């Protein structure tokens, strides 16, 4: 950030008075510009023993499979965001159930929240951000073609819970990828 969104003056990156972390602070009007993690919200849409997945038509991970999810918008709840993302990516209508997983992806400043959801009908199709939408049984999940580690983790937990006959709320952390030196 180079300029203040309030007055247009240059900003400095420094620790403001009364704070403990460096922030972008306007040199003219003293507005503090906070940069906080992004919330990604989505659903695990269920139909009988199958889950609805979307094959991505956008980057990152173009062509890979994911649950319908995306960045939360202002003025919506996390559950509303999960329903909106499912409608946008899969043109599907869902009944949002309980929150299922909260995955911290701190190395990219994101928090991923997924809800269990019930598909209301089989009238789904790819939205603008999807190449394909399809129902998968556990045995059919394209595990090697999933777009994100948080989605793979949530799906693994979901199927474990289903086999156990009891769904729990899960909180987990996704570590930064290890790159060979």
Please state the domain extents for the chain. 1-35, 38-173
Structure confidence by residue, pLDDT tens digits, 56-91:
999 999 999 999 999 999 999 999 999 999 999 999
Cβ-based burial of 157 (10 A; exposed 0-12, middle 13-18, buried ≥19): buried
How far, in whole angstroms, is CA 2 from its chain's centroid? Answer: 28
Placement of tokens 């972008």 in the chain: 24
Length of the chain: 181
Cβ pair 119, 46 in contact under 8 A? yes
Q: Determine the pLDDT at residue 21.
A: 93
Fold of 1-35: Ubiquitin Ligase Nedd4; Chain: W; (2.20.70)
156-178 tens-digit pLDDT: 999 999 999 999 999 999 999 98
Count of alpha carbons within 13 angstroms of residue 35, beta-carbon side: 9
Asked if pLDDT for residue 146 goes beyond 90, the answer is: yes
> What's the pLDDT at 167?
98
Average pLDDT, the chain: 96
Instruction: Tell me the pLDDT band of 180, cut-offs 50, 70 and 90.
Output: confident
| pTM summary value | 0.90
Examine the pLDDT at 17 and tell me if it is beyond 80: yes
In contact, 119 and 42? CB cutoff 8 Å: no
* Rounded Cα–Cα distance for residues 124 and 64 (Å): 18
Domain range 38-173, its CATH number among 3.90.180.10, 1.10.8.60, 3.90.79.10, 3.30.465.10: 3.90.79.10
């Amino acid at each position: 950030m180079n300029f203040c969104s309030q007055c247009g003056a240059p900003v400095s990156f420094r620790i403001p008075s009364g704070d403990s972390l460096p922030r972008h602070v306007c040199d003219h009007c003293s507005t503090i510009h906070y940069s906080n993690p992004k919330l990604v919200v989505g659903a695990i849409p269920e139909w009988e023993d199958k889950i609805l997945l979307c094959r991505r038509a956008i980057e990152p991970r173009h062509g890979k499979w994911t649950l319908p999810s995306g960045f939360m918008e202002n003025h919506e709840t996390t559950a509303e965001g999960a329903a909106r993302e499912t409608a946008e990516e899969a043109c599907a209508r869902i009944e949002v159930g309980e929150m299922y997983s909260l995955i911290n992806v701190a190395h990219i400043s994101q928090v991923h929240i997924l809800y269990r959801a019930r598909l209301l009908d089989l009238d789904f199709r790819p939205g603008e951000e999807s190449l394909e939408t399809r129902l998968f049984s556990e045995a059919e999940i394209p595990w090697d073609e999933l777009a994100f580690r948080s989605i793979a983790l949530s799906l693994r937990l979901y199927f474990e819970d289903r086999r156990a006959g009891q769904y729990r709320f899960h909180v987990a952390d996704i570590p930064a990828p290890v790159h060979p030196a």
